[in-house]
Amino acid sequence: MKTPEGNGSTSSLTGSMAESDALTSLVTDAGRAIDAAATLDELSDVESTLMGKESAIAAARRGLKDLPADERRDAGRAINEVAETITESIRERRLVLSAAEQDAALAADRVDITQPARVPRRGTHHLVSEVLDEIIDIFASIGYRVARGPEAETDYYNFTALNIPQTHPARLETDTLYLDYRGVGEERTAGDERYPLAHAPNEVLLRTHTSPMQARYMEANDPPVHIVVPGRVFRNEALDPTHSPVFHQVEGLAVDDGITFADLKGTLAYFARQFFGPKQEVRFLPNHFPFTEPSAEMHVSCFSCGGSGCRICSQTGWIEMLGCGMVHPAVLEHVGYDPATVTGFAFGIGADRFAMVRHGITDLRHFFESDLRVLRQFS
């Protein structure tokens, strides 16, 4: 009889099938080989040896044609029974080895649930963005709409439409960052008689405030108008603890029938108490801005010391927060509004300054240097 390793004669299976010890020996030898397989790959090799084309089973089946007809049927049945027995043993062993390999894989991939989880750091909004959103939300709650304008602006909307005179120093390159020195269809020349100290109305610059949206919005919309305009603005300034060439403003504008300075004071007092707390006091001191008349600056009582004087308020008890005033009639005329019919007020909020004051930050550069040690304090 041929063994599972392929040695020996096959005549015992085909010529002497009645000899049960030969069949038993084959099954026994096959069982030992199957049980000895320690992995699925080893079991596949054993299966190929026992049941493949060169196996004793395959050789016995090929030899059936040489048997007398009266023996062929019984011999074939006996060979099939042996083959089925071996196949079933292989199937059972495969189930055992598969379960063992799966258990080993699960054990290797085991998670110790008693260990603390590793939570990744989550990003947050930048402190200035949070302040901008809070300012917008306060005004949106009393009916103001959000408007946004271009950062690259024309001389006309940035200056002329806001009643800023041609000779105003803010128009000079020492204060303003110009992008294009050409007017419409013409080249600017030095000493232009129309603009001896300034620039042509269509020259492009980086806006120095968000106020140009006053003119742009009123040109496109009839009164009443109630808007806030958040965004970045640009000045030709050196970066130091209190100045930056890029910073953030929120422009506010309200135009309607019968608006007075009392409406301005009430609106900004409401805003200050919503932002800094209900106990804040406000005061308005005279000032001058070309696009408002009368003009004022608003101070709030120091939220840190309650007005007694401290480092944050420079021992005055008050903190200057924003500029404001009634919209100048010339601005209304520029956009086609009748100053005799409607009035309005405007204000400009420095979001970076509000963030500095609220959180006691003394260096504006902390907002823009991306130092995670600073930013994580406000996450």
Average pLDDT of adjacent 10-residue blocks, the chain of 379 residues: 40 45 73 85 85 80 79 80 86 88 84 78 84 96 95 93 90 88 44 46 90 94 96 92 90 96 95 87 92 93 76 81 95 94 96 85 83 77
Tokens of 109: 């991939």
Q: How far apart are alpha carbons 251 and 253 in whole angstroms?
A: 7
Residues 6+ apart with CB under 8 A from 287: 295, 296, 297, 323, 325
Cβ neighbours of 231 (radius 10 Å)? 19
Residues 91-109: pLDDT tens digits? 888 898 888 888 888 888 8
| Model pLDDT, residue 184 | 41
Cβ neighbours of 344 (radius 10 Å)? 25
| Model pLDDT, residue 23 | 64
Which ranges in 52-148 belong to alpha helices (H)? 56-63, 69-108, 127-140
| Model pLDDT, residue 324 | 96
| Model pLDDT, residue 181 | 53
| Model pLDDT, residue 21 | 59
| Model pLDDT, residue 26 | 76
| Model pLDDT, residue 326 | 97
| Model pLDDT, residue 200 | 67
Q: How far apart are alpha carbons 251 and 210 in whole angstroms?
A: 6
